[in-house]
Amino acid sequence: MADQADQAGPVVGTPYGAVRGRYEDGIAVFRGIPYAAPPFGPRRFRPPVPPEPWEGVRDAAAFGPTSPKPPYSEAFARILSDPVVPGDDCLNLNVWTPEPGPGARLPVMVWIHGGALTRGSSAVPVYDGRAFARDGVVMVSVNYRLGVEGYGLFPDAPANPGLRDQFAALEWVRDSITAFGGDPDRVTVFGQSAGAISIGALLAAPRTAGLIHRAVLQSGPPEAADRDKVRRMVRRMAARLKIPATAEAFAAVDRDLLLRTQAEVSKLSSPVLGGPAFGIVVDGDLVPRDPLEALTEGGAAPDADLLLGWTSEEYRLWLVPGGLLERINRLGPVAVAGAMARCHCGPEIPRGYRALSPDVATAEIVGQMVTDHLLRIPLHRLADARAASSYLYEFAWPSNVPGLGACHALELGFVFDTGDVPESARLAGEGAPRELADAMHAAWVRFAVDGDPGWPAWDASHPVRVFGADGPPVERGPRDRELALWDAESVNPLTPAEPRPAPPLRPGPSTRRTAPLSAVRRFRRSGGAGRP
């Protein structure tokens, strides 16, 4: 229906009715298109259902409502943008296309945002899709349910409604994207943090066969959350609200009160030291088994090309804004014991990290150790299992904002080529390098077009494309020494040229008397916990 475009903007048909977008810098943009009905009233905590068809042409000029979510703390709100658009019709998506109409058959990229499954939306300005459309890709970004609405675990409701929303959005792409100029047989799903974790689960889900052809996992591995940790979040909320821990009881609670309660309970968890948290769980239906096992051992999504990576200092986003970095350094051995509990490891692991980096502070040891355990090891494992079709990268450019370094989420403005928007500068600072955005964005486009981002596929030499460092563009095994510490077969990760012995991490009196789990609790009581 693109030929029906008039001066107000292009008109395209969807299975539920026509939508009118806008031309912006020569790109056709459609915002706030519903892919499912509002998930409230009798549909609250239930799987998504199709939207009601509409008559005439629906205006698609503005972003649709965002899912209910608590605000970031003041420290994180200074560097992370998270717009709120009020309204119930929050299961919506946006499309940027250079050529609306069924004849183009361009590659498609579907963006799933991060935010710990509790925050974020497709309306974040950094996620603007015009640069992808400028370079010949139809880009789609998706809203989905968050927090207890999307990932609460109840005895009287199906699990993972937020992930089911994402699945419904992918079905919408399959059924609708041709009319916007896209090719439903060339769909790349890309996401960061919780978005990447979501993609891992979607890739592993048998029901998504044929919906995903390539995938980009940025700073998030395929994983399933411990069901008991998710239940504990729900139970703690129920205890504060003085209601049963059931979907029926939660559905009767005022939405704002539910968000305030969720925010209070979430203070007991930390990305570094764990604790109860919302997450995707094995549900026997959409997620029949652990996603990492399904992808590495079960043959799930065998033909999907993968682009996998991380930032050099992921942990700095979690530790710097709220002053947690300084508290970890102050607590020293107690924080190390907490990290050992988080990683389920003995003291030989932090000792090995100290031997490799004898001059860094305790917080960096803890941060890199937890990052490797939670992120880099599973992504290496995934690449090892699918070497011929996997490409790995590391983002190493340090932010111009003091203390943030090459932190979690910093790469996003470079991937989207949106470094000129003020929200990107919050995290990157002023003067981010233009050539780095050119290189990174072009690699993502190339991957969507033909599955090759421009450097060697994973093999026994472990090639990693490093963006923003001073060394060669491709390094071989840049994290191998650290990751070898986790291998029971590896006795000494140091090379012959570096024969330093591993100095002991001398615990203070408190850790001699206290188990690591108690150290975690003491660390949280000290003010070291809390999600952004």
Domain edges within the chain: 2-528
Extract the tokens encoding 431: 């003067």
Secondary structure (DSSP) of 204-260: H-GGGTTT-SEEEEES-------HHHHHHHHHHHHHHHTS-SSHHHHHTS-HHHHHH
Stretch (H or E) spanning 190:
strand 182-192
Sequence-separated (6 or more) residues with CB below 8 Å from residue 77: 71
User: Encoding tokens for residue 49?
Assistant: 């259902």
Mean pLDDT by runs of 10 across the 532 residues of the chain is: 57 97 97 98 97 97 97 94 97 97 95 97 98 98 98 97 98 98 98 98 96 98 95 96 98 95 86 82 96 95 97 96 92 93 94 96 95 97 96 98 97 97 96 97 98 98 97 96 80 35 36 40 45 46
Query: 6 Cβ partners below 8 Å, 6+ apart?
Result: none
AA identity, residue 90: C
Beta pairing partners, 466: 394
Q: Output the pLDDT for position 273.
A: 65
Q: What is the pLDDT of residue 488?
A: 55
Beta-bridge partners for 142: 93, 112
Rounded to an integer, what distance in angstroms lies between the CA atom of residue 369 and that of residue 23?
47
Give CA–CA dist 335/332, Å, rounded.
5
Active site residue 408: yes
**Which is the catalytic residue, given 113, 213, 408, 462?**
408
Q: Which residues, including other chains, have CB under 8 Å from residue 257's CB and lie 6 or more apart?
A: 241
Residue listed under structure tokens 């928007």 = 421
Of residues 81, 121, 176, 193, which has the active-site annotation? Answer: 193
Q: Which residue has the tokens 């079905």?
A: 171
Catalytic residue from among 149, 223, 314, 423 = 314
Q: What is the pLDDT of residue 269?
A: 74
Q: Is 113 a catalytic residue?
A: no
Q: How many CB atoms lie within 10 A of CB 7?
A: 5
User: Does residue 314 carry a catalytic annotation?
Assistant: yes
Q: What is the DSSP string of 493-513?
A: -S-TT-----------HHHHH
Q: What is the pLDDT of residue 274?
A: 75
Provide the b/e sequence for 300-331 (b: ≥16 CB within 10 Å): bbeebbbbbbbbbbbbbbbbbbbebbebbbeb
Nearest to 363 by CA among 315, 404, 322: 315
Q: How far apart are the C-alpha atoms of 362 and 262, rounded to whole Å? A: 31
* CA dihedral sign of residues 274, 192, 31, 82: positive
Cβ within 8 Å of residue 187, ≥6 positions away: 108, 109, 110, 170, 173, 174, 177, 211, 212, 213, 214
Residue whose structure tokens are 């974020």: 120
Q: Sort residue 234 into left (φ over 0), alpha (ψ -120 to 50) or beta.
A: alpha
Quick: pLDDT tens for 440-486. 999 999 999 999 999 999 999 999 999 999 999 999 999 999 999 99
Question: Tens digits of per-residue pLDDT, 25-78?
Answer: 999 999 999 999 999 999 999 999 999 999 999 999 999 999 999 999 999 999
H/E segment holding residue 318: helix 315-319
Q: What is the pLDDT of residue 8?
A: 73
The 10 Å CB-count burial string (b at 16+, else e) for 340-358 is bbbbebebebbbbbbbbee
pLDDT, position 184: 98
Letter string b/e over residues 26-46, b meaning 16 or more CB atoms within 10 A of that residue's CB: ebbbbbbbbbbbbbeeebbbe
Query: 2-528 in CATH: which number?
Result: 3.40.50.1820
pTM over 0.85: yes
Two structure tokens written together for 319: 């530790």
CB 336 within 8 A of CB 350: yes
